[in-house]
């Protein structure tokens, strides 16, 4: 493993893990503006946990979702995927930190450390995939409801929390790809390759065998 690539991948994974932690509690996953006069203009925004509204005077009112089972399926799935992304990112950071060459945690066995770093790259990839699925699924429902002419409810637009999540997923996938691409598996047969050189000891033995057999042939000839 290249130490520079490891450090870059660790930095990308840490930023992705930090950003997914920021995106999960962010309130602005979807935003809708209710226009009216100056007094009644308000903004409604939601995330995975609550629904909030603010009026033109700056007063915020938030309401938590009452029941988990009463929520839509995509919200429940997005919650689970985002929490799984945080868990995978934590494992990826620990594994990468142990597997880095500049780290003294895993000892001096660089083969084992390289494998641990590769496992950290897999965790980063899982983090990015979970984040991208959750964010994209949530955004797909927003756009589907927005362009549906027969949708009776409030139409929302994509909020800043989704953009943070997309950025987090991209960084996590890049960090995991860097670790996996920089990991090189060495075949034991390819470590040292020596050219074939006939052994001189064999020649000496063969010469000795010839000298030993020569007197026998001479004796036979003399006997005949």
Q: Which two tokens stand for residue 141?
A: 């429902």
Strand partners, 197: none
CA distance 121 to 144: 34
pLDDT at 208: 47
* Nearest-5° Cα angle at 169, 167 to 175: 100
Q: Which of 7-21, 120-134, 180-194, 200-214 has the lowest mean pLDDT?
A: 200-214
% of the chain exceeding 90 in pLDDT = 33
Q: What is the pTM of this model?
A: 0.74
Counted residue by residue, the chain has a size of 224
Summarize pLDDT for 107-162 with one digit per residue, the tens.
Answer: 666 677 778 888 999 999 999 999 999 999 999 999 998 888 888 878 888 989 99
Residue-wise pLDDT for 4-51, tens only, equals 888 888 899 999 999 999 999 998 999 886 655 445 557 888 889 988
- In the structure, what pLDDT confidence band is assigned to residue 100 with cuts at 50, 70 and 90? confident
**What confidence category does residue 213 fall into, taking pLDDT thresholds of 50, 70 and 90?**
very low
Structure tokens at 57: 């005077």
Query: 48: closest CA among 20, 23, 84?
Result: 23
The whole-angstrom separation of Cα 191 and Cα 78 is 47
- Three-state DSSP string of the chain: CCHHHHHHHHHHHHHHHHHHHHHCCCCCCEEEEECCCCCCCEEEEECCCEEEEEECCCCEEEEECCCCCCCCHHHHHHHHHHHHHHHHHHHHHHHHHHHCCCCCCCCCCHHHHHHHHHHHHHHHHHHHHHHHHHHHHHHHHHHHHHHCCCCCCCCCEECHHHHHHHHHHHHHHHHHHHHHHHCCCCCHHHCCCCCCCCCHHHHHHHHHHHHHHHHHHHHHHHHC
Identify the CA nearest to 155 among candidates 27, 26, 28, 30.
30
Q: What domains can you pick out in the chain, each with its CATH number?
A: 3-190 (1.20.140.150)
Rounded Cα distance, 81 and 94, in Å:
20
- For position 65, what pLDDT does the model report? 85
For 94-110, what is the mean pLDDT? 74
Exposure b/e, 102-115, CB count within 10 A at least 16 = b: ebeebeeeeeebbb
* Tokens read off for 186: 């060495």
């Amino acid at each position: 493993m290249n130490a520079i690539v490891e450090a870059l991948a660790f930095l990308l994974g840490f930023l992705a893990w930090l950003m997914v932690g920021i995106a999960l509690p962010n309130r602005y996953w979807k935003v809708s503006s209710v226009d009216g006069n100056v007094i009644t203009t308000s903004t409604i925004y939601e995330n995975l946990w609550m629904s909030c509204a603010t009026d033109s005077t700056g007063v915020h009112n938030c309401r938590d979702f009452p029941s988990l089972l009463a929520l839509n399926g995509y919200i429940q799935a997005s919650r689970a995927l985002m929490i799984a992304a945080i868990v995978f990112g934590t494992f990826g950071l620990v594994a990468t930190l142990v597997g880095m060459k500049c780290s003294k945690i895993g000892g001096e066995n660089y083969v084992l450390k390289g494998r641990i770093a590769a496992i950290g790259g897999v965790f980063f990839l899982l983090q990015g995939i979970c984040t991208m699925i959750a964010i994209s699924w949530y955004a797909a429902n927003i756009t589907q409801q927005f362009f549906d002419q027969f949708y009776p409810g409030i139409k929302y637009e994509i909020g800043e929390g989704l953009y943070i999540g997309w950025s987090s997923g991209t960084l996590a996938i890049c960090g995991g790809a860097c670790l996996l691409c920089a990991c090189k598996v060495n075949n034991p047969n390819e470590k040292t390759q020596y050219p074939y050189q006939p052994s001189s000891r064999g020649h000496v033995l063969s010469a000795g065998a010839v000298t030993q057999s020569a007197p026998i042939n001479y004796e036979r000839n003399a006997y005949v």
